Amino acid sequence: MTLVNLQCYQNPNPNMTDKDFYGFPPPAKQDWIEQALHDTGVREFDELVLWDALEQLPYAPFYTEEDLGPSKRNPAGFLERSHPHYWENVALVDLDKDTPEIIASVISNGIDGLVVQWSGKGDLNSLLSDIQPAYVSIWLKPTGEVKTVVTNFLSWIESRLSDRSMLSGGILWDPWAEGLHQERPKGVVEEEAIWLHAATKEFPDFKGICMDFAIYRARGVNATREITLGFGVLVELLDLLTAQGAAVTEVLDNLFVQLATGNDYFLQIAKMKTVRVLFGKFLMLYDIKWSENDSLHVFSTTSDFNRNDEDAYNNMVRNTVEAMMAILGGADTLWVKVHGDESVPVFARRIAANISNLLKYESHFDEMGDATSGAFYLAYLMDVILEKVESGLVQQEESGGWWAMISAFSQNKKSNDNEA
């Protein structure tokens, strides 16, 4: 049924439910405001608006269609998704600690891929003797010297697979994030990024360049700053690799984003969706025609620090809610981290992996399209965050780019830590 002018429409069939609630005109936002003022006894609507000091955002008690601004949050249809959403469920194995038997047990937990943590020591033919890389995605997480780890891993892959396109996954290691963490110089970071791209670009479904947004969140910044700093790396990366002769599409095909969810349900969903929208805007800047098959791959994890080690059951609930945020935000790969006793590694990882499996096979999250579509509050958050990020990126470039901004950020953080 097509509805035209709901205020004038009268339902000819009282047995049919319609959006206009049987002919009554829909209330305007002012009607809601007057009702809220009457019910709460306050004089001004502004008294009902809350202020988030960390995010620097005002939150009204309700939102309506009238709050929707221009369609900045969804340029060129980047978020239109009516088909089911499938995501990859991955679990951790540590090649420096786990035996082949433990690894085989983890694989049997109904997962789609592995986060392979490795220092580079040992023989992969023995350590991964039960792994068939053509049938499971592998997200390599180096803990040793990155070139050694990646070189040894790719050599093992070449010996096991006849076709490089059979390998899927990526490298969970961001040169810029490591540079921030270890305070390494710009030249070293850029050399590592160039090497990683060269080593992995011939593997079409194995992404060698990770943009780790989660490291900024772990350092206490808000969602807007997290996205701004994260995309600052994308600008640096494109400038660096295109200067080396790489095509923009070649670089974009070889990268993915790592995000961590947090404890603000709608804000975290909005953050993830805004990242994808902003990536689409970058494609438009380079005159790249967007298609869903070429969209940004988002690797999402549950939080590292929103935990109480003495309360595994609450942690399980937190992990479940955070996994829901990631799925509703459009994550392509989901790593639910363990939330209980890690001294029993197989059981702890099984429980974590089952959160994703239950959301898929019992709650049927994978059969939905975009379940958040039409949420006015979420649309408001996306619009405001996107506007702030775009302004922040302009300011970041005018101030000297990511390196200048991160230097100022690190100095401020050290100053605040000293004061504390």
Write out the two tokens for 99: 């035996």
Q: Which of 66-70, 133-137, 183-187, 264-268 has the lowest mean pLDDT?
A: 66-70
In which band, very low, low, confident or very high, does the pLDDT at 75 lie, cut at 50, 70 and 90?
Answer: very low
Q: What pLDDT score was predicted for residue 286?
A: 83
From 412, 261, 379, select the one nearest 327 (Cα to Cα). Answer: 261
Which CATH number fits the domain 71-411, given the four candidates 3.40.50.720, 3.20.20.240, 3.10.129.10, 3.40.190.10? 3.20.20.240
Residues 262, 326: Cα–Cα separation, whole Å: 10
Q: How confident is the model at residue 281 (pLDDT cuts 50, 70, 90)?
A: confident
pLDDT tens-digit map of 342-376:
667 788 899 899 999 999 988 888 887 788 888 88
Mean pLDDT over residues 128-150, rounded? 95
Residue 78 has pLDDT above 90, yes or no: no
In angstroms, the CA 237 to CA 198 distance is: 13
How much of the chain, in percent, has pLDDT values that exceed 70?
83
Is the distance from CB of 284 to CB of 238 less than 8 angstroms?
no
Condensed to tens digits (0 to 9), the pLDDT of residues 317-334 reads 889 999 999 999 999 999
CB 259 within 8 A of CB 272: yes
On average, the pLDDT of the chain sits at 84
pLDDT at 196 over 90: yes
Residue 306: band (very low, low, confident or very high) from pLDDT cuts 50, 70, 90: low
Predicted pLDDT of residue 6: 26
CB 92 within 8 A of CB 333: no
End-to-end CA distance of the chain: give it in Å, rounded.
Answer: 62
pLDDT for the residue numbered 342:
63
Per the DSSP assignment, residues forming a β-bridge with 116 are 93, 140
Give the Cα separation of 414 and 420 in Å (integer).
10
pLDDT for 214: 92
The predicted structure's pLDDT at residue 348: 85
Length of the chain: 420
Q: What is the pLDDT of residue 340?
A: 64
pTM reported for the whole predicted model = 0.87
Q: Is 100 exposed, middle or buried (0-12, 13-18, 19+ CB in 10 A)?
A: middle
4-49 residue pLDDT tens? 322 333 334 444 445 555 566 777 889 889 998 999 998 898 999 9
pLDDT score, position 263: 81
Chain centre to alpha carbon of residue 339: 20
Give the pLDDT of residue 395: 92
Q: What is the pLDDT averaged over residues 187-195? A: 96
User: How do residues 228-271 score in pLDDT, each as one tens digit?
Assistant: 999 999 999 999 999 999 999 999 999 999 999 988 899 999 99
Distance CA 257, CA 173 (A): 11
